[in-house]
Structure 1
Amino acid sequence: MELPERTVPVERLRLGDHACMEASGTESYWAVFTAYTRTSLARREKVLLVMDPDDLQDDEVIALLDRAGAAATQARADGQLSLKRTPQMYLPNGRFQKERTIEACRAEVERAREEGWAGLRVAADMSWAPKAGVEDERLRDYEASVAPLFADPLFTAICWYDRRRFGRTLLDDMARIHPLHVTAPRTDFVETLREALSRQNTEDPTHITLDLRDLCFMEAHCAWQLLTLAGSLPPGSEVTVRCGELLALVLRQLGADEVRQLVLEVTEEE
């Protein structure tokens, strides 16, 4: 399948975006949802994760997000993070009704507004549809019909489709119906950095600049590796990281200010 022209990493989604994502296993989509949740919470937006009843239990979800530094426990206590199961959202009486579901989304946006959050971000597992016997054509019609919801700049959504449950034709259609297609967080730069440093003379100072201004999420272990690699360089070395405020906050929380070889050049978020 050729990805749509408007393919973006999850950390670049903005309020008003409607995106889809294909997944083939828990590891791939949880990397996306962790980035999505952490970024949204930092921007004072409410997050609603709508999950399959057979997926992780709520406490397991919170623990997984907290392990990545998403502050999920506190966000849930504050009402900023909400977890629902797909029957609550799509099949409250065991039947799918398009108009009712759209109104439920509007109600969630209004609730987030009334609670004082900067917006609402939803991520929803669409596997409920084949389980409930909803025909592909009805699902296409639903996804096309929700477009007016995104005229409200307070709403963002990712619909994720498990390749094990949907056929190739439907997946391709969903990629065309959704304005955006989401890719996983870009963390390959750590391996690239390690390779670049291995070519340096370990006894002489090294100067490297990393332009990460289009990246606002980094998994904790990758951030640690960046700090560790920078700290292992000879005295007088300098690793300049150009980044946004969110990524700078993550790095500083992990001790970036104590790594003499690391310099943060922070650009204000749009």
Structure 2
Amino acid sequence: MAFTDVEARWQVLTAYTRTGLVRGEKVLLVLGHSDLSDDDAVARMDDGSGHVESARDSGQLMITRNTSFYMPDGSFDKERQLETARTECDRAYREGWPGIRVAADMNWALEPGVDSEEVVDYEASLEPLFADSRYVAICWYDQRRFSDYTVGAMRAVHPLQVMERLDAVDVTQTRDGTRIAGSAELSTRGEFTEALREALKQQPDTHAPFHFELDLTDLTFMEAHCAWQLISFATSLPEGSKVTVRCGSLLELVLRGLGSADVPQLQLNVAEES
């Protein structure tokens, strides 16, 4: 995750942490030495619920600092750090947790004597750990401090990118159509609608049937107005057109509740959820 907005970063970390706790996983947060204190971080994520505080008391949530985690003797050693990662995973499994999720502030990589290329190599070397579905991790980089080259290199070696904000949409082109991820809500309504308009735009010189795939499996929320816009765009397509919408069960519920079954141009392909 690359970020510039600290408040948005905490929103992501809070959602990430609380999701792990609800799933019964162990959570390890590796904060920067100048970040919030442990107590303040817990209070920020807990928001009065008591769940995050209880998780820290039980050992389900652990908080440490990045310099001591990555540079225990004042220097960084890739092989030692890989062993530390494996050790934390093994410890979580031995303790009976069904999985472990880690989130780490990477500002330690800016410390004197740390070779950025070695850090990139370390990040790439973590790949085998992700083959185990019980392990998930976020490494976050402050774009105000890291160079564009370093951020780009890290994006290249990581299999997934984390959106900086919860209230945002991310639009990418796929082989068969368009993927829209994030949250289609009031603050992103215009961007979401424009993405739909562009994706389902007909060529001016043809009225032939239109076939398109819209991947919404990573859209975590869609308000009724945005869902209605999708149905409206599909309805306006020529007869024989087919828009296949891949989505989860919650979005299916929204779309069917607004009458998607009455639109022959619209087909829902509901992804199985673990």
TM-score range, shorter chain: 0.5 to 0.7
2:159 is matched with which residue?
179
2:250 is matched with which residue?
243
User: Relative to structure 1, is the Cα distance of residues 32 and 156 closer, same or farther in structure 2, using a 3 angstrom cutoff?
Assistant: same
2:186 is matched with which residue?
191
Instruction: After superposing the two structures, state which structure 1 stretch, 181-190 or 134-143, moved more.
Output: 181-190
- List alignment gaps of at least 5 residues for structure 2: 169-182, 191-215, 222-248, 252-270
Q: Contact between 1:52 and 1:127, CA under 8 Å: does it hold in 2?
A: yes
State the shift of 1:33 in Å: 0.4
Aligned-CA RMSD value: 3.0
Cα distance in structure 1, aligned partners of 2:127 and 2:154: 13
Which AA in structure 2 matches 1:42?
A: V
Which AA in structure 2 matches 1:107?
A: T
Secondary structure at the aligned position of 1:82 is classed as strand
State the shift of 1:66 in Å: 0.7
2:143 is matched with which residue?
163
State the shift of 1:68 in Å: 7.4
User: Relative to structure 1, is the Cα distance of residues 181 and 192 closer, same or farther in structure 2, using a 3 angstrom cutoff?
Assistant: closer
Cα distance in structure 1, aligned partners of 2:148 and 2:48: 32
Cα distance in structure 1, aligned partners of 2:151 and 2:9: 16
Return the index of the structure with the highest Cα Rg: 2
Aligned 1:41-80 pairs, distance under 5 A:
41-67=21-47, 69=49, 71-80=51-60
Q: Could you tell me the TM-score, scaled by structure 1's length?
A: 0.63
Aligned 1:85-234 pairs, distance under 5 A:
85-183=65-163, 184-186=165-167, 189-191=184-186
- List alignment gaps of at least 5 residues for structure 1: 1-20, 196-211, 218-241, 245-266
Q: Contact between 1:45 and 1:119, CA under 8 Å: does it hold in 2?
A: yes
Q: Deviations over 1:220-270 (max 9, x none)?
A: xxxxxxxxxxxxxxxxxxxxxx639xxxxxxxxxxxxxxxxxxxxxx9951
Which AA in structure 1 matches 2:250?
A: C
Secondary structure at the aligned position of 2:44 is classed as helix
Secondary structure at the aligned position of 1:127 is classed as helix
Cα distance in structure 2, aligned partners of 1:216 and 1:42: 17
Q: Contact between 1:214 and 1:243, CA under 8 Å: does it hold in 2?
A: no
Q: Contact between 2:101 and 2:137, CA under 8 Å: does it hold in 1?
A: yes
Is 1:39 matched with 2:46?
no
Cα distance in structure 1, aligned partners of 2:141 and 2:188: 33
Cα distance in structure 1, aligned partners of 2:50 and 2:2: 23
Q: Deviations over 1:60-83 (max 9, x none)?
A: 000000117582101111111110
State the shift of 1:115 in Å: 1.4
State the shift of 1:22 in Å: 0.3
Q: Contact between 1:52 and 1:128, CA under 8 Å: does it hold in 2?
A: yes
Secondary structure at the aligned position of 1:182 is classed as coil
Q: Contact between 1:49 and 1:83, CA under 8 Å: does it hold in 2?
A: yes
Secondary structure at the aligned position of 2:162 is classed as strand
Q: Could you tell me the TM-score, scaled by structure 2's length?
A: 0.62
Q: Which has the higher contact order (CA 8 A, sep 6+)?
A: 1
Q: Contact between 2:30 and 2:104, CA under 8 Å: does it hold in 1?
A: yes
Cα distance in structure 1, aligned partners of 2:17 and 2:155: 22
Which AA in structure 2 matches 1:115?
A: E
Cα distance in structure 2, aligned partners of 1:180 and 1:268: 20
Q: Contact between 1:90 and 1:96, CA under 8 Å: does it hold in 2?
A: yes
Identity of aligned residues (%): 47
Q: Contact between 2:70 and 2:76, CA under 8 Å: does it hold in 1?
A: yes
State the shift of 1:146 in Å: 1.4
2:196 is matched with which residue?
none
Secondary structure at the aligned position of 1:181 is classed as coil
Cα distance in structure 1, aligned partners of 2:272 and 2:153: 37
Q: Contact between 1:34 and 1:70, CA under 8 Å: does it hold in 2?
A: no
Cα distance in structure 1, aligned partners of 2:116 and 2:81: 17
